[in-house]
């Protein structure tokens, strides 16, 4: 048992992933230094329902000047964030004189570049200097820092209040949510909104997508748990929108209760979550049983293919795949390597499992017989682009929601 980071209630563990590495720490093959591992287990708070890791990895070990994840590798995600930026400008900024848009975790500028191109005042905050530099090269103003209460107060003092504070795939990475909410309170204008989108517990439960759990994903949010957290810090959850991105996410809109009334969607989703029981220990323990079965099925399939002499590679050296390979015990004996388009990951070894990462340009004929799709959240985009692989007899292996071939 541990103590909830949000409400101090008791957190009961429901799944143990054993020893896990830093999911974005791709190693140089010649690196002989000791690799960092931590014990990764996940639990649910019996008081506020927040699903959270049982222990925390120091943030500097994950986010630094060699952070491997570059958001703009997916064309689909570029479209998603350009659309998001335009919508936020239209719905939240149109009637405000000289609005300010602040983004936490702006990464390589995938969202803020559109805001910058429209000439709207903005500031990205991201502690990973390498990706922040890419954002700056696209005309985005960035401050290299971990967003937290003190940083928010400094921004408020120098820039004035923000009309929109936005974050994607970042708030769930931040254990110190109390400091984030206090920072948002200091920085947000009275009528402004704090909008963030992250993987949705309801989809993770339904799809048994256990690989959404890794060092960076400290929280798995639901409407119920986000509403409780927002209220604890004087805000309210005023809107929710389900998104298809990253295997199922929710965009949460947080506002000040005196200025924003919740939409009906909030009450509807919370009622649906209660009916489904997505955050009960019984559901989550049953989920764990499915996860174990899926991992067993995957390893059985990979061993069978190896015995048959088939060549098996993987596609997408995702952070998620660290959980799959290290929990299921999938090493280079079962998967010969991973193709990935990110230069900083190429010619390195995946964390813990040490699968060699090869540039996407090397994915050419003769194709491998099988490709394990670690980037299953980008399946549509990838399978379409690589259709020649299937036309020539290649088969994709998917493991979410269960192990199947495509």
Chain residues in the site for ligand TMP (CB under 6 A):
73-74, 316-319, 340-342, 345, 360, 375, 377-378, 381-382
Residues between 102 and 121 with contacts to Zn ion, criterion CB under 5 A: none
Asked if 124 and 141 count as a contact pair (C-beta separation under 8 A), the reply is yes
Helix (H) or strand (E) holding 163: strand 162-168
Give the E-state strand segments of 51-134 in sequence order.
Answer: 51-53, 100-104, 121-125
Q: Smaller CB distance to ligand TMP: residue 336 or 360?
A: 360
In whole angstroms, the minimum distance from the beta carbon of 131 to ligand SAM comes to: 5
Q: Smaller CB distance to Zn ion: residue 234 or 244?
A: 234
Helix (H, G, I), strand (E, B) or coil at 400: coil
From the list ligand SAM, ligand TMP, Zn ion, none, pick the one residue 338 interacts with, judged by a Cβ distance below 5 to 8 Å according to partner type: none
Asked if 27 and 354 count as a contact pair (C-beta separation under 8 A), the reply is yes
In whole angstroms, the minimum distance from the beta carbon of 334 to ligand TMP comes to: 20
Please report whether residue 163 would count as binding ligand SAM according to CB under 6 A.
no
Asked if 317 and 338 count as a contact pair (C-beta separation under 8 A), the reply is yes
Query: How far is it, in rounded angstroms, from Cα 280 to Cα 287?
Result: 11
Edge-to-edge strand ranges of the sheet holding 162-168: 142-143, 121-125, 100-104, 162-168, 188-199, 249-255, 236-243
Q: Which residue is nearest to ligand SAM (CB)?
A: 105
Phi, psi of 139 (to 5 degrees): 90, 15
Please report whether residue 175 would count as binding ligand SAM according to CB under 6 A.
no
Please report whether residue 131 would count as binding ligand SAM according to CB under 6 A.
yes
22, 25, 48, 53: residue in contact with Zn ion (rule CB under 5 A): 48
Please report whether residue 351 would count as binding ligand SAM according to CB under 6 A.
no
In whole angstroms, the minimum distance from the beta carbon of 154 to ligand TMP comes to: 30
Under the rule (CB under 6 A), what is the footprint of ligand SAM? 63, 67, 69, 71, 104-105, 107, 110, 125-128, 131, 146-147, 168-170, 173-174
């Amino acid at each position: 048992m541990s103590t909830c980071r949000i409400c101090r209630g008791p957190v009961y563990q429901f799944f143990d992933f054993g020893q896990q590495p830093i999911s974005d720490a791709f190693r140089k093959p010649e690196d002989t230094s000791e690799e960092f591992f931590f014990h990764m287990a996940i639990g649910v708070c019996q008081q506020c329902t927040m699903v959270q890791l049982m222990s925390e990895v120091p943030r500097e070990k994950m986010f630094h000047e060699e952070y491997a994840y570059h958001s703009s590798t997916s064309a689909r995600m570029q479209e998603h964030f350009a659309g998001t930026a335009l919508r936020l400008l239209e719905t939240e900024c149109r009637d405000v004189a000289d609005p300010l848009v602040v983004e936490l975790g702006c990464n390589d500028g995938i969202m803020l570049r559109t805001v910058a191109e429209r000439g709207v005042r903005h500031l990205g905050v991201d502690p990973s200097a390498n990706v922040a530099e890419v954002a700056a090269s696209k005309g985005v103003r960035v401050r290299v820092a971990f967003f937290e209460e003190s940083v928010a107060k400094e921004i408020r003092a120098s820039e004035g209040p923000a009309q929109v504070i936005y974050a994607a795939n970042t708030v769930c990475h931040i254990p110190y949510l109390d400091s984030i909410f206090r920072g948002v309170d200091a920085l947000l204008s009275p009528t402004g909104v704090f909008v963030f989108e992250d993987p949705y517990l309801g989809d993770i439960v339904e799809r048994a997508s256990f690989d959404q759990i890794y060092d960076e994903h400290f929280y798995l949010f639901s409407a119920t748990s986000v509403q409780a957290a927002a209220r604890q810090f004087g805000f309210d959850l005023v809107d929710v929108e389900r998104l298809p991105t990253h295997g199922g996410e929710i965009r949460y809109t947080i506002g000040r209760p005196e200025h924003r009334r919740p939409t009906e969607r909030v009450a509807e989703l919370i009622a649906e979550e209660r009916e489904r029981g997505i955050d009960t220990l019984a559901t989550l323990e049953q989920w764990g049983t499915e996860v174990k079965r899926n991992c067993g099925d995957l390893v059985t399939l990979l061993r069978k293919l190896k015995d048959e002499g088939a060549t098996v590679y993987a596609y997408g050296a995702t952070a998620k795949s660290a959980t799959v390979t290290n929990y299921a015990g999938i090493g280079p004996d079962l998967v010969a390597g991973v193709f990935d388009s990110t230069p900083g990951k190429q010619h390195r070894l995946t964390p813990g499992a040490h699968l060699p990462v090869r540039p996407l340009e090397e994915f050419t004929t003769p194709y491998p017989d099988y490709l394990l799709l670690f980037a299953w959240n980008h399946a549509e985009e990838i399978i379409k682009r690589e259709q020649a692989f299937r036309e020539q007899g290649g088969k994709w292996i998917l493991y979410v929601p269960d192990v199947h071939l495509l």
